[in-house]
Amino acid sequence: MTEPFDLIRSRRRTIALIVQTDGRLVVRAPLRAPEKMIREFVQGKADWIRKRQAQARAERLPPRQFTEGEKFLYLGRSYPLMFVPPQRPALQFGSVFRLSRSARARAKAAFIRWYKARAAEVIGGRVDWFARQHNFNYQQVRITSARARWGSCSSRGTLSFTYRLVMAPLEIIDYVVVHELVHLKVKNHSKRFWSQVAAILPEYKHHVAWLRKNGHALTLE
């Protein structure tokens, strides 16, 4: 019996398996890959999938409550939430996150808006800096709510990043930024691709390991 999964097709050459923090399996496959081939690939990885699903469920954090004192990540550091009298915008940040008491019912939406705005500034700035330093030409930067991937690069040169990435330390953000910039020139994950990443970020393997270990915590779920 094949593991149940969500299928996402795109302009890629290989099949990739992604186990979400809730244990859900996402399969990314080439546009024309036969469904039978995809299911056989998934079945062949059944033991690996079950192991990762068990690990994901064990690591899963308790649901967010958005209560006073609860901590939220920004650039790799945790900051507590404090409720304050009405203010605009409803969520503001200094040494703590300050949320209007009147906005408690929509706290998650307020955090998402805030993270997306900060992600546009921080990630957009890092993309621009690395692009100028290493002669990459991109079209635009998009901030998304993606849950299955940290970033992507379209065939037209649009770079997309999930807002969740701005919760990570800056060196992790830089790795994802460089990863997607290199995809502007090398569309696959060949040795040539990784050698170009290493030429810019020699310590990139440490950043990959950090994301594998800590990525599940970069969430508002």
Please compute the mean of the pLDDT values over residues 15-22 and round it to a whole number: 83
**Which helix H or strand E contains 52, and what residues bound it?**
helix 46-59
Residues 133 and 196 in one domain: yes
| pLDDT band with cut points at 50, 70 and 90 for residue 1 | very low
pTM, whole model, 2 decimals? 0.79
Whether residue 55 lies inside any domain: the answer is yes
Q: Out of 12-16, 57-61, 92-96, which region has the weakest mean confidence (pLDDT)?
A: 57-61
List, for residues 75-87, the tens digit of each pLDDT value.
999 999 999 999 9
State the pLDDT at residue 213: 83
For the ranges 65-74, 135-144, 168-177, 206-215, the lowest mean pLDDT is seen at 206-215
Residue 54's pLDDT band (cuts 50, 70, 90): confident
Is residue 154 domain-shared with residue 212, that is, in the same domain?
A: yes
pLDDT digits (tens, 9 = 90+) for 127-185: 999 999 999 999 999 999 988 789 999 989 999 999 999 999 999 999 999 999 999 99
130 shares its domain with 201: yes
Same-domain status, 35 and 113 = no
Q: Which of 38, 59, 80 is the last residue of a domain?
A: 59
Q: How far apart are CA 26 and CA 5, in angstroms?
A: 6
Mean pLDDT confidence for 209-221: 88
CB 80 within 8 A of CB 96: yes
Band the pLDDT of 59: cuts 50, 70, 90: low
CA–CA separation, 118 and 103 (whole Å): 20
Higher per-residue pLDDT: 22 or 221? 221
Q: Is residue 86 part of a domain?
A: no
Average pLDDT over residues 17-46: 88
Last residue of a domain, one of 43, 59, 75: 59
136 and 54 within one domain: no
C-alpha 145/C-alpha 115 separation (Å) is: 10
Q: What is the mean pLDDT of the chain?
A: 92
In the listed set 59, 84, 100, which residue is the last one of a domain according to the structure? 59
Look at 70 and 189; give whichever has higher pLDDT. Answer: 70
pLDDT for 90 beyond 70 = yes
Mean pLDDT across 85-108:
95
Which one, of 165, 196, 202, lies nearest residue 179 by Cα? 196
Q: Residue 156's domain spans which residues?
A: 108-217
Residue 149's pLDDT is what? Answer: 86
Is the pLDDT at 196 greater than 60? The verdict is yes
For residues 212 and 127, state if they share a domain.
Answer: yes
Kindly tell me if the per-residue pLDDT of 62 is higher than 80: no
Domain count, the chain: 2
For residues 141 and 42, membership in a common domain is answered with no
Residue 71 inside a domain? The answer is no
What residues does 7 pair with on adjacent strands?
Answer: 27
CATH number, domain with residue 210: 3.30.2010.10
User: Do residue 113 and residue 205 come from a single domain?
Assistant: yes
Within a domain: residue 155?
Answer: yes
